[in-house]
A and B are shown apart, each in its own frame.
Chain A
Amino acid sequence: MNLNNNPALIDQLAASYALGTLRGGARRRFETLARDNAPLRAAALIWQSRLASVAELQPELAPSPAVWKRIENLVSADQQARAMQAARAASQAPVSAPASRWWSSLGWWRGATAAGAFATMIAVVTGLSLTQHLNSQVRELSARLSQAPDIQYVAVLADGKATASMLVTFDPKNKKLVLKRVSSFQAQPGKSLELWALPPGAAPRSLGVLADQPVMQLTATESGLREVPMLAITLEPQGGVPPGSGPTGPLLFKGALLQTAK
Chain B
Amino acid sequence: MTPESPDTPLIALLDRVALADESALRELYDLTSSKLYGVAVRVVTNREWAEDVLQEAYLTIWRVAGDYRATLSPPMAWMGLVVRSRGLDFLRRRTAERADHVQELDDVISDTVAGDSPNPMDTTQASEQAWALHQCLNQLDNKQREVVSLAYLRDLSHGELATQLKLPLGTVKTWIRRGLEQLRGCMARFA
**Interface set of A (CB-CB < 8 Å, partner B):** 11-12, 15-16, 19-21, 23, 49-64, 66-68, 70-72, 74-76, 78-79, 82, 122, 125-126, 128, 131
Contact = CB atoms under 8 A, between A and B. Distances in A.
Nearest to A22: B157
B184 interface: yes
Given A21-B176, A63-B34, A78-B62, A53 B156 contact: no
Contact of B80 (A56, A60, A76): A56
A19 B151 contact: yes
| Chain B residues touching A, range | 35 or more
Nearest to B156: A20
Contact of A67 (B51, B120, B129): B51
B56 A128 contact: yes
B162 to A, nearest CB: 12
A49 B129 contact: yes
B148 A19 contact: yes
B38 A58 contact: yes
- A interface: dominant SS: helix
Interface of B: 20, 22, 25-26, 29, 33-35, 37-39, 41-42, 47, 50-52, 54-56, 58-59, 62-63, 73-74, 76-78, 80-81, 83-84, 90, 93, 120-127, 129-130, 132-134, 137, 148-149, 151-153, 155-158, 176, 180-181, 183-184, 187-188
B25 A58 contact: no
Contact of A56 (B20, B77, B184): B77
Contact of A54 (B22, B56, B149): B149
Most buried by B among A57, A70, A82, A128: A57
A15 B180 contact: yes
Contacts of A51: 133, 152
Nearest to B121: A57
Nearest to A78: B62
A169 to B, nearest CB: 24
Contacts of B183: 15
- B interface: dominant SS: helix
A125 B86 CA distance: 13
B59 A71 contact: yes
B94 to A, nearest CB: 9
Nearest to B76: A56
A63 B77 contact: no
A59 B120 contact: yes
Contacts of A67: 33, 37, 51, 54-55
A56 B151 contact: no
14 contacts: A11-B184, A16-B180, A49-B77, A52-B73, A55-B80, A56-B127, A56-B130, A57-B130, A62-B33, A63-B37, A79-B22, A126-B56, A128-B90, A131-B52
A56 B6 CA distance: 12
A62 to B, nearest CB: 5
A15 B134 CA distance: 16
A56 B125 contact: yes
Given A57-B122, A75-B59, 6 more contacts: A11-B188, A55-B153, A57-B121, A57-B126, A60-B35, A63-B50
